[in-house]
Amino acid sequence: MREFLRVIWNKKTILFAMILLLINVTFCLFQCNDSKEITLTGDALTEYLNGYDDFLAETMDNVSGMLGNSLFAKQDSFARKNIEKSAVDYGALSGLVPEEGENRGIVIYTRFQLTHFLVLGFVIYLVLRFLEEEKKGLQLLVRSTALGRIPLFLWRVVTLLFGAAAISFLLYGSTLLVVQLRYPGADLGRAIQSVPEFLKSTYQISIREYLFYDMLCKALAASVTGLLLYALSVFTTPMVALVAFSVAVGLEYLCYLTIVPTSVLAGVKYVNLCAMLVGRDGFINYLNLNFFGKPILILELQLWFALLLLIVLPLLGLIACAGNRAKTVGALASRLDKILAWFSRHRRPVGGFTWEARKLLGKQMGFVILLLAAYLAYSASLESRYADLRNPYEMMWYEEFAGPITEDSVAAMEQTMADMEEDRLKLEASIARLKERLTKLMMEKPGDPAISYVGQELEKREDQLMELLKKMAGLNIVLPRAYSGLEYTLETGRELWLLEPYTYQLLLENDSKTYEKNRLYILLAVVAAFSGCMAYEYKAKMEPVLRTSYRGKRTVVYKVVIVVLFSALTALGIHMIQFVQIGKVFPYHSMDCPVQSIECMRDFPFSISITGYLCLLYGWRCLYAAAMGLFTMLVSRLVKDRVACIALCAAGLLVPVFLSAVLGG
Amino acid sequence: MLEIKNLTKQYGAFTALDGLTVTFDKGVYGLLGPNGAGKSTFLNLITDNIKRTDGSILYDGKEILDMGAAYRKKLGYTPQVKGMYEDFTARDFLHYIGSLKGMKRKECKRQTEEFLEIVNLSKAAHQKIGSFSGGMKQRTLLAAAMLGKPEILILDEPTVGLDPEERHRLREYIASIGKDRTVLLATHIVGDIESIAEKVLLLVKGKLCRFDSPATLISELPECNNLEDVYLHYAGIFKSHLE
């Protein structure tokens, strides 16, 4: 029980959990505010709901068709059994009536990914707390006590299971709470198939039941993941266990990301810890995996796998723990030791800067944290795709009159408008004449072949008129922009270009939520990566040595350079994700023209090109990140503890952002 | 030559070191004194780790505060609070200290291997310091202090945690390197000093009590058979005197 209290009911653990909760809620709020096109709503949703019966009927038809196919005639084959199971599963859904309702919150909950990483981080933290005794050389002392082996191991397993379940329910629960508050009024009693994302699901459960089972599965996955690390650490040294665990989880994640569901390796993709932590596939996708020739749904197989590990891992750990020997270096670790010794002997000394970089980015995991943040920002950016809804009849005029806005160019635009107006009148007159002729022909000579010719001609003219009207409407949007630009030029003497406004407006103004979210990722990454910067020296009690060394004081300069450089690079990398994602849909153009050509930038006081402005903007954002890095460094110097530093920085930097996200709606 | 003149350190009303004047030439010097005598304060002052209240410290006639980094380049130091990165290997730690001392990389590598051999850590040099015993950590710190072969070597409790064999070996090594540099050895293990120190600086309550060779100190007091007796004698005298 004391072990439980030591690890869980502990200021540091609670603080860490609270920080994770704050991070989770803040990012979830951003996700809610950012995701405009989350799922089908309005007419599209009604259409989906009305079409659900058709989908079921079509699926059943397909199944019947396949059952009649000679390819699947072999009774004992997996393919045959799979089709038969599909028939049973989908057949059971007949009569199910999906209902209309608020689905956005549920979809965000299902897609929100950050929580998986946070839960994993907490579980690893718990196991590392167990391993503290080894770090402090207390392992033999603990093992020599009456309760230091099996009872302690069992208490730790219980602690781990409780901790993993608690953090899962806390974080996933907070996500659920946020989405429910943001999108209230969702009727959770509806069938899960009421949410379009669950179209293929064959589970006859309500949304409420789905949410409960999903959280339960994730808690189970988190527990098993923690148990795996703990079981590994019972067999070998903490470092080897961590490396083995990282490799195993990394490979599983890679399999999960890269293997396609139709592959023969689909089992490896879904029956793995990462897939279980992500969780949604089992509910969303209908896929039967081949389990010794028997088709079993993803979720069911995942659950059996998790339960098996839940029993096997503690058992293995128990056997290792009960042995009368203290943990020793095994053959593999011994070989590894020899390899490490060889590398160590042949390693060349490096300079002071490299050492500080190694300490900050390697020993304190700074690089991994920054990379993880960039990856999270990237994966979040994939969820909010940009749709090109620009009017082509407007765009053609921007292309046509691209270049500086002058009195001549505006006059040319007016002339074009006047010409089109003239064409319009001509076309309208022509259409009127053709209509009159057609009516006359139909009245006087109903069987005359000329009717068809005149009809076709009339249709052609009407099409031309429609096209012309669209062009005119487009130019009517462009002309006021040109007038406004010309007015500005005449007032300020600064030449503007005619630019399509949407691309840069989106980048600089309209996609501010993505920017805010990215800023949050950067901020968190920088705080987490560099919070140990100075605390590390205090913990190692190296301050006196550094102060009395020839180049000891220079290490602070190196640290500053590294923090500034990597904070800025992280910021640049993460902001560039948004830049590139927008650029893929809305290609950037006319980047050499004055920045004031963008309407929202009219008040910018300096004469500078768009390229120059973007450089300044991204430079400024990098500087901001660098300043955050230096602030973290300063706090680290003052509080001399990494977790306390993260907590303080989170309170100082994250809470205002969190509040702005809440208040900003 | 390290000249210390009227060195004083006060913490508020408390005087930790009171007008200490002493000169160290090449050789091994022992620094003895009971807890709270001002030994660590004295070492912190001559390593420029804390600010002095009064007095001066000259190295070859130059004030060490004016010399700055140039003075620190000549310094090797193992503080009483043992500072080490436990997640570094011993070899990496020495390489790191070498870089802090501004050593050339090739020379750093050469000396690292040399000192690892001297402190008998060659075989464990690729292991994390966190997995080391107290004695191994102590030896790593000694190797780190000796790296760069500094002209002034300040060792605060360097033999704590070492087994007798290791202690003997290191004592002999310190004696050998003390021939062409100043080695200042602060310890509670009086035996370490007795056999190798040319002179012993005895501090009590922040004041210089005696500064002489161990032989002289022992011979001055007929009731004392060894340096430990001398140490206890002076510590006792001062205690009763103050009472």
- Interface contact flag, A340 B126, Cβ < 8 Å: yes
Rounded CA gap, B184 and B186, in Å?
7
Calculate how close chain A gets to B239, using CA atoms only, in Å: 31
Give chain A positions within 8 Å (CB) of B155.
Answer: none
Among B125, B145, B223, smallest CA distance to A344 is for B125
Query: How many alpha carbons fall within 13 Å on the CB side of residue B241?
Result: 9
Give chain A positions within 8 Å (CB) of B72.
Answer: 548-550, 552
The residue count of chain A comes to: 665
Q: Please give the average per-residue pLDDT across B32-55, as a whole number.
A: 88
- Interface contact flag, B48 A547, Cβ < 8 Å: yes
Q: Which residues contact B37 (CB under 8 A, 6 or more apart)?
A: B203, B204, B205, B206
Please tell me whether residues A116 and A162 are part of one structural domain. yes
Rounded CA gap, B198 and A69, in Å?
102
Q: Is the dihedral of CA A256, A258, A262, A263 positive or negative?
A: negative
Nearest to B101 among A337, A550, A555 (CB): A550
SS3 A601: helix
The enclosing H or E element of B228 equals helix B227-242
Computed over every residue of chain A, the mean pLDDT equals 85
Rounded CA gap, B18 and B209, in Å?
11
Please tell me whether residues A187 and A311 are part of one structural domain. yes
- pLDDT tens figures, A385-411: 676 777 888 889 988 888 888 889 999
- pLDDT tens figures, A320-368: 777 655 455 556 667 777 787 888 888 888 888 999 999 999 988 899 9
Q: Which residues contact A38 (CB under 8 A, 6 or more apart)?
A: A104, A107, A108
Residue A542 resides in a domain:
yes
Band of pLDDT at residue A187, cut at 50, 70 and 90: confident
Residue A60 resides in a domain:
yes
Query: Residue A34's pLDDT is what?
Result: 65
Looking at the structure of chain A, the number of domains it has is 3
Domain that holds residue A397: 392-497
Note the pTM of the prediction, 2 decimals.
0.75
Residue A455 resides in a domain:
yes
Q: Which residue has the tokens 């904070």?
A: A567
- Interface contact flag, A545 B100, Cβ < 8 Å: yes
Q: Is A339 an interface residue toward B (CB < 8 Å)?
A: no
Residue A624 has pLDDT above 80, yes or no: yes
Please tell me whether residues A552 and A649 are part of one structural domain. yes
Contact B123, B87 (CB under 8 A): no
Contact B28, B154 (CB under 8 A): no
Rounded CA gap, A19 and A125, in Å?
13
- Interface contact flag, B72 A352, Cβ < 8 Å: no
Residue A42 has pLDDT above 80, yes or no: no
Contact B198, B27 (CB under 8 A): yes
Residue A366 resides in a domain:
no
- pLDDT tens figures, A366-380: 999 999 889 888 877
Rounded CA gap, A363 and A344, in Å?
16
Q: Is A338 an interface residue toward B (CB < 8 Å)?
A: no
Please tell me whether residues A463 and A540 are part of one structural domain. no
Band of pLDDT at residue A62, cut at 50, 70 and 90: confident
Best residue in A132, A545, A559 for a mutation probing chain B (most B CBs within 10 Å): A545
**ipTM of the shown complex:** 0.79
Band of pLDDT at residue A288, cut at 50, 70 and 90: confident
Rounded CA gap, A606 and A224, in Å?
58
Best residue in B45, B100, B129 for a mutation probing chain A (most A CBs within 10 Å): B100
Q: How far is CA B138 from CA A55, A135, A457, A467, B144, in A?
A: 75, 18, 101, 88, 10
Please tell me whether residues A443 and A506 are part of one structural domain. no
For β-strands B27-32 and B182-186, DSSP reports them as parallel
Residue A135 has pLDDT above 80, yes or no: no
Band of pLDDT at residue A137, cut at 50, 70 and 90: low
Q: Please give the average per-residue pLDDT across B132-161, as a whole number.
A: 86
- pLDDT tens figures, A498-539: 888 888 888 887 777 788 888 888 988 999 999 988 888 888
Best residue in B40, B59, B85 for a mutation probing chain A (most A CBs within 10 Å): B85
Task: Show which of residues 517-536 on chain A sit within 8 Å of chain B, judged by CB atoms.
Answer: 536
Q: How far is CA A299 from CA A193, A208, B186, B221, in A?
A: 17, 17, 68, 88
Calculate how close chain B gets to A247, using CA atoms only, in Å: 20
Q: How far is CA A173 from CA A21, A112, A182, A219, A306, in A?
A: 10, 12, 14, 11, 21
Q: Please give the average per-residue pLDDT across A277-285, as a whole number.
A: 82
- For chain A, how are helix, strand and coil distributed in percent, rounded to 5? 75, 0, 20
Nearest to B98 among A349, A541, A545 (CB): A349
Last residue of a domain, one of A347, A369, A401: A347
Contact A216, A223 (CB under 8 A): no
Query: Residue A665's pLDDT is what?
Result: 47
Residues facing residue B204 across a β-bridge: B207
- Interface contact flag, B112 A349, Cβ < 8 Å: yes
Nearest to B99 among A343, A355, A547 (CB): A355
Band of pLDDT at residue B237, cut at 50, 70 and 90: low
| Radius of gyration over every alpha carbon of chain A, rounded to an integer in angstroms | 32
Query: Residue A446's pLDDT is what?
Result: 79
List, in order of start, the domains of chain B with CATH numbers: 2-74+152-242 (3.40.50.300), 84-150 (no CATH)
Query: How many alpha carbons fall within 13 Å on the CB side of residue A413?
Result: 31
Q: Please give the average per-residue pLDDT across A464-491, as a whole number.
A: 90
Q: How far is CA A210 from the centre of its chain?
A: 22
Please tell me whether residues A223 and A301 are part of one structural domain. yes
- Interface contact flag, A348 B72, Cβ < 8 Å: no
Please give the residue that has the higher pLDDT: either B111 or A46: B111
For chain B, the residues whose C-beta falls within 8 A of a C-beta of chain A are 44, 47-49, 69, 72-73, 75, 77, 79, 81-89, 91-92, 95-103, 105, 108-109, 112, 125-128, 130, 144
Query: Residue A358's pLDDT is what?
Result: 92
What's the token pair of residue A467?
A: 């096209």
A616 CB-contact burial (10 Å; exposed 0-12 / middle 13-18 / buried 19+): middle
Query: Residue A558's pLDDT is what?
Result: 94
Best residue in A533, A549, A640 for a mutation probing chain B (most B CBs within 10 Å): A549
Query: Residue B243's pLDDT is what?
Result: 44
For β-strands B182-186 and B152-156, DSSP reports them as parallel
- Interface contact flag, B84 A551, Cβ < 8 Å: no
Residue B169 has pLDDT above 90, yes or no: no
Residue A648 has pLDDT above 50, yes or no: yes
What are the two backbone dihedrals, phi and then psi, of residue A134, each rounded to the nearest 5 degrees? Answer: -70, -40
Last residue of a domain, one of A347, A372, A403: A347
Q: How many CB pairs under 8 A join A and B?
A: 103
Rounded CA gap, A235 and A581, in Å?
46
Last residue of a domain, one of A347, A374, A407: A347
Please tell me whether residues A287 and A247 are part of one structural domain. yes
- pLDDT tens figures, B4-26: 999 999 988 888 998 999 999 99
Residue A201 resides in a domain:
yes
Please name the amino acid found at residue A186: A
Among A587, A608, A588, A579, smallest CA distance to A596 is for A608
- Interface contact flag, B101 A553, Cβ < 8 Å: no
Residue B205 has pLDDT above 90, yes or no: no
Please tell me whether residues A547 and A632 are part of one structural domain. yes
Which residue is closest to A541 within chain B, CA to CA?
A: B83
Which residue blocks in A493-609 are alpha helix, DSSP H? 502-505, 512-530, 535-539, 543-548, 554-585
Q: Which residues contact A103 (CB under 8 A, 6 or more apart)?
A: A39, A40, A41, A45, A186, A194, A195, A196, A197
What's the token pair of residue B221?
A: 């007091």
Range scoring the smallest mean pLDDT among A115-124, A137-146, A274-283, B80-89: A137-146
Q: Is A362 an interface residue toward B (CB < 8 Å)?
A: no
Nearest to B81 among A337, A359, A541 (CB): A541
- Interface contact flag, A135 B48, Cβ < 8 Å: no
Give chain A positions within 8 Å (CB) of B97.
Answer: 545, 549
Residue B121 has pLDDT above 80, yes or no: yes
Please tell me whether residues A234 and A169 are part of one structural domain. yes
Please tell me whether residues A98 and A35 are part of one structural domain. yes
Rounded CA gap, A530 and A370, in Å?
10
Residues facing residue B8 across a β-bridge: B54
Contact A550, B77 (CB under 8 A): no
Q: How far is CA A638 from the centre of its chain?
A: 34
Contact B38, B185 (CB under 8 A): no
Band of pLDDT at residue A278, cut at 50, 70 and 90: confident
Band of pLDDT at residue B113, cut at 50, 70 and 90: very high
Calculate how close chain B gets to A643, using CA atoms only, in Å: 18
Residue A375 resides in a domain:
no
Please tell me whether residues A493 and A512 are part of one structural domain. no
What's the token pair of residue A135?
A: 């770090």
Residue A606 has pLDDT above 90, yes or no: no
Q: Which residues contact B20 (CB under 8 A, 6 or more apart)?
A: B4, B6, B7, B8, B42, B55, B203, B207, B208
Selection from A115-129, A377-391, A580-594 with the highest mean pLDDT: A115-129
Please tell me whether residues A172 and A106 are part of one structural domain. yes
Contact A33, A664 (CB under 8 A): yes
Among A57, A62, A53, smallest CA distance to A82 is for A62
For β-strands A288-291 and A294-297, DSSP reports them as antiparallel
Best residue in B78, B96, B133 for a mutation probing chain A (most A CBs within 10 Å): B96
